A and B are shown apart, each in its own frame.
Chain A
Amino acid sequence: MQATFRIRRFNPESESLASYDQDYVLETEPSDTVLDGLIKIREAIDESLTLRCSCRGSICGSCGMRINGQATLACKTKVISMISDGGTLHIEPMKNMPVIKDLVTDMEGFWEKIRKVQPWLQPKGPEPKAEYVASLESMDHLTGVMGCIMCGVCVSDCTVLEVDRNFLGPAALAKAYRFVADPRDGHAKTRLFALNTPGGMWGCTRCMECVEVCPKGVGAMDRIMALRAKGMEQHVPSTCGSRHAEVFADIIRQKGVLDEPMLAVRTFGLGNIPQLLSFIPTMIQAFKRGKVPKIWIFHRAIPGIRSIQRLYKKVRELN
């Protein structure tokens, strides 16, 4: 099958320092991965093409790149799964990190954030005579997140990192969860308090990009949500994030449906009047446009509310 590889190239030693697209046309076998194609190009057409790879079997995590607009492992992506005969593959380096050359990115920022969450076990109390014991169940629960191969694919496509380099990002937060949820670790609370700061667990928009692109099914966002739940359980100091979730749950219990102004007021809290005030011009404009129905101010409960409240009670009793 014929395929065109349109590769985003960048040479730090060029004069213009501009990146550009270069097309390579090649014959591929049905079994070829994108990585196989790239290696063919490097070996037969253009030895200056620079990329990073090692295991060719989705283990080492070095071949992360963007293929047709989504980050993935080149060794895990078959050419025929992306294009049909004669089609064009768009191949770019990962986003949200500096490009060193062609498809090779600088992962230093990635590792720095991983180090920031102290990714090692920190048990508390006297050492046991033999090994630390953990239940099979708790370890089973952690296998998913321990499957992370540190490829950076989720970080490449994270929505928040695109606008805020300080955000810890999906891989580091998933790693943090791996230790918070480990029964042998003695510092879950300290860890959660540290994650309860700007750039931490409340910064995620829940966009699911990291879940969708991860080649290992780590589900970073789900781990971030689990961190939030654990944080609320451990009573980390309330932030707009935790108040938002608590108040949301409470409003649904009272009314069955969402009451947005109440959510806003109670989320910001009376301690944050400046931020609340900053929304007022938008609110006034909305009222003027009739965007907000009058009954909205006194949002009524839905007809099924009794049933909702009984279910809340029941689920809480069972927890």
Chain B
Amino acid sequence: MKYAFFPGCVSKGGCPELYQSIMQVYPKLGIELEEMMTASCTGAGVLQEKDQKLGDVLNARTFALAEQRGLPIMTICSTCQGVMSQANLRLKSDPKYLAEVNHILAEERLTYRGTTNIRHFVWILLEDVGEQAIQQAVTRPLTGLRAAPFYGCYLQRPTEALGFDEQPSRAQSLETVIRLLGAEVVDFPGKSQCCGLPILTINERNSLMMVANHTSDAKNHGADVMVTPCPLCHLNLDGMQSKAANQQSTTINLPVLHLPQLLGLAMGLDSKSLGLHRNLVSPGSVLEKVGVEF
């Protein structure tokens, strides 16, 4: 189980605790990683607003680099995954377009043959690592912890690019993992909705209202913690939560963990090595519940 690892800018910038925690967790799952040091940003859908073809060229370059190494790509960000999945679908379903893009890549001595498989860590957990191996890695089941999943738009839509037809379990992947870790799933309507981050600078009020709605909704449904496979969602749901609560004149205080952080807790890792002190909403209550020192 070896992958070309695409960490994404946010895990190396605004959410270093994500990078830190995935590094702690993956070796214990039989995964091998080779980090793609020369890959560019996916464009996050923002570059694509200006120039979709440019975005596709940059992503095709990344896919070609992985193809050369003969490795599938692993992402740890819903946005990276979604943007790459969409680009890959466009390239693979239109040979003429792929040829055009390859023509541009030729100067870099690269060609993309369309064979690279790109998958998010949470899918790899279920499809490659497998339920049994996950259960074996769990040394500290999170019994009694009530966790609300939050996917991020790009890991839920569009279902065609994300291969939900071929792999229907992807639609419920977070819930499945939460259960395998011994925690209880808190279902709430916002789990596959938008965290609001893309419009934070454009319409702050609307963006923060989404943060407040989703986090308080999860809390009202009984969640002790929210867990997300997307660092961009985390930036808004964790980073902006107190500002969002202020805007709505309320308090929320719902800890939001990155998926590898939750996994790490169940695998017996300590809070420091998972970077939990870096989460802005203090995860103290969660740690207390699972019996880990903060």
Cβ of B58 < 8 Å from any Cβ of A? yes
Total number of A residues with any Cβ neighbor in B under 8 Å: 65
Known: A307-B61, A308-B40. A206 touches B280 (CB 8 A): no
Q: How far is the CA of A319 from the CA of B203 in the complex (A)?
A: 31
Closest CB in chain A relative to B271 CB, distance in Å: 13
Contact segment of B46-54, B115-123, B175-183: B46-54
Cβ of A25 < 8 Å from any Cβ of B? no
Contact segment of B8-16, B68-76, B259-267: B8-16
Contact segment of B190-198, B220-228, B285-293: B190-198
- Tell me if A252 and B48 are in contact (CB < 8 A): no
Q: How far is the CA of A264 from the CA of B37 in the complex (A)?
A: 25
Q: How far is the CA of A164 from the CA of B58 in the complex (A)?
A: 35
**Complex interface bits, B155-166 against A, C-beta within 8 A gives 1, otherwise 0:** 001110000000
Closest CB in chain A relative to B239 CB, distance in Å: 6
Residue in chain A with minimal CB distance to B60: A311
Closest CB in chain A relative to B41 CB, distance in Å: 5
Contact segment of B26-34, B91-99, B206-214: B206-214
Contact segment of A175-183, A184-192, A254-262: A254-262
Cβ of A22 < 8 Å from any Cβ of B? no
Known: A245-B47, A312-B54. A209 touches B206 (CB 8 A): no
Residue in chain B with minimal CB distance to A198: B203
**A316: chain B residues within 8 A (beta carbon):** 54
**Residues of B bordering A, CB below 8 Å:** 9-10, 12-17, 37-41, 43-54, 57-58, 61, 104-105, 107-108, 153-154, 157-159, 189, 193-194, 196-199, 201-207, 209-210, 213, 239-240, 242-243, 277-280
- Tell me if B37 and A303 are in contact (CB < 8 A): yes
**A228: chain B residues within 8 A (beta carbon):** 49-50
- Tell me if A205 and B53 are in contact (CB < 8 A): no
**B205: chain A residues within 8 A (beta carbon):** 164
**B61: chain A residues within 8 A (beta carbon):** 307-308, 311
**B240: chain A residues within 8 A (beta carbon):** 282
Cβ of A268 < 8 Å from any Cβ of B? yes
Q: How would you classify the secondary structure of chain A's contact residues: helix, strand, loop or mixed? A: helix
**Complex interface bits, A222-260 against B, C-beta within 8 A gives 1, otherwise 0:** 000100110010000001110011101100100011111
- Tell me if B202 and A257 are in contact (CB < 8 A): no
- Tell me if A203 and B203 are in contact (CB < 8 A): yes
Contact segment of A11-19, A31-39, A120-128, A290-298: A290-298
Closest CB in chain A relative to B261 CB, distance in Å: 13
Cβ of A45 < 8 Å from any Cβ of B? no
Known: A228-B49, A248-B47, A289-B280. A260 touches B204 (CB 8 A): no
What 18 new A-B contacts, CB under 8 Å, besides A205-B210, A304-B39?
A: A160-B206, A203-B203, A208-B158, A211-B158, A225-B52, A240-B201, A249-B46, A268-B201, A282-B239, A289-B277, A289-B278, A292-B16, A293-B16, A302-B39, A304-B40, A311-B105, A315-B53, A315-B104
- Tell me if A267 and B201 are in contact (CB < 8 A): yes
With beta carbons under 8 angstroms apart, the residue of B13, B16, B45, B243 that contacts A259 is B13
- Tell me if A258 and B10 are in contact (CB < 8 A): yes
- Tell me if B104 and A311 are in contact (CB < 8 A): yes
Cβ of A310 < 8 Å from any Cβ of B? yes
- Tell me if A256 and B104 are in contact (CB < 8 A): no
